[in-house]
Amino acid sequence: MTDNLTFFALIDDNNIVVNTLVISQENVNTGLWGDPSKMIQYTNYTRGGVYLGTDGVTPLRYNTAGIGYTYNPVLDAFIASKPFPSWLLNTNTCEWKAPVPYPTDGKIYNWNEETQQWVEFTGA
């Protein structure tokens, strides 16, 4: 009998995610897929500390891990790469936030780092 399959991220010595696996804890413990001490469990479908699935799973590590993400052991969170130099990390959600709130008028916007403003997307 094997354990249930769960999501693990393999991190390097700089806490960068180099691989993600769906694997049992039993198989993680063998070391065949990487150093077990570098395998960090996470929940899929998780963003900002909220599980987005429908089966009532408790979220782990704030965000679904992705290759290139950083694991922050102090926050116990996976954090995506910073999208723009001006954006700040919200440590309550472990997500990056623009210095100006996204407009709520239902339109689609892109961030302009030079002007530090949201610019309406026109499709062109």
pLDDT tens for 40-77 read 999 999 999 999 988 888 999 999 999 999 999 999 99
Single out the residue of 3, 5, 9, 2 nearest to residue 60, CA to CA. Answer: 9
Which pLDDT score, from 0 to 100, does residue 109 have? Answer: 97
Which pLDDT score, from 0 to 100, does residue 4 have? Answer: 77
- 124 falls in which pLDDT band (50, 70, 90)? low
Which pLDDT score, from 0 to 100, does residue 96 have? Answer: 98
74 is written with which tokens?
Answer: 């102090």
Between CA 34 and CA 58 the distance in angstroms is: 25
Which pLDDT score, from 0 to 100, does residue 54 have? Answer: 85
Between CA 14 and CA 8 the distance in angstroms is: 17
Number of neighbours of residue 15 by Cβ within 10 angstroms: 15
Question: Domains of the chain: which residue ranges?
Answer: 1-81, 85-124
Q: Regarding beta strands 77-79 and 70-72, do their DSSP bridges make them parallel or antiparallel, or are they unpaired?
A: antiparallel
pLDDT tens for 75-122 read 999 999 999 999 999 999 999 999 999 999 999 999 999 999 999 998
Residue 25, SS3 per DSSP: helix
